[in-house]
Structure 1
């Protein structure tokens, strides 16, 4: 069975710098009928596990360590036996949510994760968070961008651990170089394409954060 992408939307809160906001998160499941990779275990481990079904979870890959993207990761790891993977630059953020439990492994720029016969390449895209990564699956014509790139612009950079010039540079050099038809599957909200977002880069720079 060919690899496919499924989405689970979970709801909860995002907290940082003393504020808390209600959020809906996209949890992406990449794989086939036998095995699956979970991109961002947000809010509800049981709902994610139900969507996984009887498939083997090869890994839980975190695009970054804001609490709304990793709050369910340890529980999902316990339910599935899968390792939690995170870029090491985001470990300080991770510890704010899970001080007693470290990730099981690191994500590194250029690393390949394979699931269902499909390779996903890790792209280190700091800015929204120091260890933010995107996962590019060229065979599926898609990239999972977490909170780095959304429909309409870059992710927020007004809080701790974030930087606007850095996220714009990450998008310019790591994402807008992908084929324009590449589907951008985001951490929140609707998907878009690289081609739809590329013309707006100068607007983002002019607008600042």
Structure 2
């Protein structure tokens, strides 16, 4: 079975720095007919599982730890019995949503690291550490599928927001230029919110 990308949208809220906003989040599921990985866990477990179907979930891979991307990750983990993966630099943001604990029971299961390959359904996702929107923000490049999952690092129209705690406007642009703009121009960008774009389109727009 050949690997593919499936997509859904869930709706909820994003809260940080004492403010809350209504948001729609993309749900991306990568795999074949038998197994898959879920990219981010926003808002609604049942909405995510509707995209997964009856496949075995190998991992829940979080692009970063803002609450609209990880809020239901622990519940999803229980439902599908799969590990949560997150870059450890995002622990402060994770703990804003899920609290801190001496035991570590509340944490994710496996650390993401730059260059890590996550294999699923006969293809692989390569982890690109792209800090800026969040310290542990990552993008997931799928060369076989000609796409990259950018979370909130790069959108149709430019870089993700950096006006809140734990973000850095200069660093996100550096990450995008060094890591994402090195990908082929025709690479499709699947974002955390909103519509797709391409590396080439965003490279031209950012200059």
Unaligned runs of 5+ in 2: none
Structure 2 CA distance for aligned equivalents of residues 51 and 26 of structure 1: 11
Unaligned runs of 5+ in 1: 203-209
Indicate yes or no: 2:202 matched with 1:189.
Answer: no
Report how far residue 144 of structure 1 moved.
0.1
TM-score, scaled to structure 2:
0.96
Deviations 1:110-134 (A, max 9, x none): 0000010101100000000000000
Structure 1 CA distance for aligned equivalents of residues 178 and 8 of structure 2: 29
Structure 2 CA distance for aligned equivalents of residues 8 and 73 of structure 1: 16
Question: Where do residues 52-63 of structure 1 align in structure 2 (5 Å cutoff)?
Answer: 52-63=52-63
Report how far residue 8 of structure 1 moved.
1.2
Match of 2:119 in 1: 114
Report how far residue 50 of structure 1 moved.
2.5
Indicate yes or no: 2:179 matched with 1:158.
Answer: no
Contact residue 40 and residue 61 of structure 1 kept, 8 A: yes
Question: Where do residues 167-178 of structure 1 align in structure 2 (5 Å cutoff)?
Answer: 167-178=172-183
Deviations 1:31-82 (A, max 9, x none): 0000010000100011211321211100000000000000111111000001
Question: Where do residues 1-209 of structure 1 align in structure 2 (5 Å cutoff)?
Answer: 1-99=1-99, 101-202=106-207
Structure 2 CA distance for aligned equivalents of residues 106 and 84 of structure 1: 9
Q: Could you say what the CA RMSD is over the residues aligned between the two structures, in angstroms?
A: 0.7
Contact residue 151 and residue 190 of structure 1 kept, 8 A: yes
Structure 1 CA distance for aligned equivalents of residues 50 and 186 of structure 2: 31
Structure 1 CA distance for aligned equivalents of residues 15 and 31 of structure 2: 31
Structure 1 CA distance for aligned equivalents of residues 51 and 26 of structure 2: 13
- Deviating above 3 A after TM superposition, structure 1's stretches of 4 or more consecutive aligned residues are none
Matched residue count: 202
Report how far residue 180 of structure 1 moved.
0.3
